[in-house]
Amino acid sequence: MSSDSTIKKCIFPAAGYGTRFLPATKAMPKEMLPVVDKPLIQYGVEEAVAAGMTDIGIITGRGKRSVEDHFDISYELEHQISGTKKEEQLSDIRRLIEECTFSYTRQIEMLGLGHAILTAETLVGNAPFGVILADDLCINAQRNVMQQLVDVYAKYRCSVVAIEEVDAEEVDKYGVIDGQEIEDGVFKVNGMVEKPDKDKAPSTLAIIGRYVLTPEIFGIIRATPPGKNGELQITDALRTQAERNMVLACRFDGRRFDCGSVHGFVEATNYFYQIYRSRKDA
Ligand code: UTP
C-alpha cells in the first residue's frame, strides 16, 4: 500500500429495499427521501467531499434511477430557472457535480451490506476507501464523522469503523464491538457481532454507517459465509480482519440520526428545519 494516506474514493451502498419506510420507499429510493430540501444521499456526498473524497461510487439496484439523475444536469429545468432567484437552490448540487466523479454499479441480488460492498470492488480497486450509509445522517460542526475516521486511518493505516454508545435495549439493531480503548475514543476491536441478543452483546458500542476500509476486505468478504438473516454481513468480514490484522473503532464526536427509521427521520427533519429557518430569517 502507498505511504500516502489520502483517501479519494467513497462508496455509497444504496441498493437496499428500505422496508422500514414503506410505503414511502415502494417506488422511491430511501436515499432520495428529503430532509427539509435535500435528499439524504446529497448530505452523505457533501460529507465525503468535505473529508477530501471526490471519487464517488454508488451501489444501486432496481428502481434507483433517480439517484443517478440527481447527480446529473437537468437541462430543461436548469434552462427554465436560469437567471431567476431559484437558480441559487441548485448551487450546492451543481458544485458537487463539478467537483466529483460519479460511478455506478448495480447489485443484482440484495444479499446484504457485505455483498453490496463487494459489488463495488471494480469501482474501488486496490486503495483504501470510505463507505457511507446515507440513511445514517451525521452532523458535526468542526470535523465531520468521515474526516474523523480518515484521521484515525492516517495514523494507524487499518480499517476503521464509526461507533456510538447506544441504549442496551437497542443493541439488537446494530453490529456491536468488543474493544479496548487505546486512545481517547479509539478502540482496538477484539471481536464484533451483528445484531446480538441483548444478553449476549459484548458492549453497547454500536457500529453506525461510516467506515474506512482497506482493500484486503474484498478477499475476506469473498471468503465469508452468509451470517445473520442469511445476509453477507460486513461485520463478519471485519471480525476476520480484526483477528488477522487490526481494525479500529472510533467513537465519533457529533450526532447521528437514523433516517432509515421514521422516528430518526422526523428528528433529523426538525433539527435541519431549525437551521433552515434561521438561514431564511437572517
Ligand atoms: P439496511 O439494513 O438499512 O437495509 O441497510 P435496507 O434494506 O436499506 O432498509 P430496511 O432495514 O429494509 O428498512 C444498510 C445499508 O446497506 C444498503 C442499504 O441500501 C443501506 O444503505 N444495502 C443493504 C445494500 O446496498 N444492499 C443490500 O443487500 C443490503
Ligand 1 atom with least separation from CA of 61: 25
Task: State yes or no: pLDDT of 150 exceeds 70.
Answer: yes
Task: State yes or no: pLDDT of 175 exceeds 70.
Answer: yes
186-229 pLDDT, tens digit per residue, is 999 999 999 999 999 999 999 999 999 999 999 999 999 999 89
Distance (Å) from CA 223 to ligand 1 centroid: 21
Ligand 1 atom with least separation from CA of 261: 13
CATH of domain 9-281: 3.90.550.10
Residue nearest to atom 8 of ligand 1 (CA): 16
Q: What is the pLDDT of residue 2?
A: 46
Whole-model pTM: value is 0.95
Distance (Å) from CA 277 to ligand 1 centroid: 32
Mutate to test the pocket of ligand 1, among 113, 161, 258 (most ligand atoms within 8 A of CB): 113
Distance (Å) from CA 282 to ligand 1 centroid: 38
Banded pLDDT at 87 (limits 50, 70, 90): confident
Q: How would you write the chain as a 3-class SS string?
A: CCCCCCCCEEEEECCCCCHHHCCCCCCCCHHHCEECCEEHHHHHHHHHHHCCCCEEEEEECCCCHHHHHHCCCCHHHHHHHCCCHHHHHHHHHHHHHHHCEEEEEECCCCCCHHHHHHHCHHHHCCCCEEEECCCEEEECCCCCHHHHHHHHHHHHCCEEEEEEECCHHHHHHCEEEEEEEEECCEEEEEEEEECCCHHHCCCCEEEEEEEEECCHHHHHHHCCCCCHHHCCCHHHHHHHHHHHCCEEEEECCCEEEECCCHHHHHHHHHHHHHHHHHHHHC
Q: What is the pLDDT of residue 73?
A: 85
Distance (Å) from CA 59 to ligand 1 centroid: 11
14-58 pLDDT, tens digit per residue, is 999 999 999 999 999 999 999 999 999 999 999 999 999 999 999
- How confident is the model over 233-248, as a mean pLDDT? 96
Banded pLDDT at 261 (limits 50, 70, 90): very high
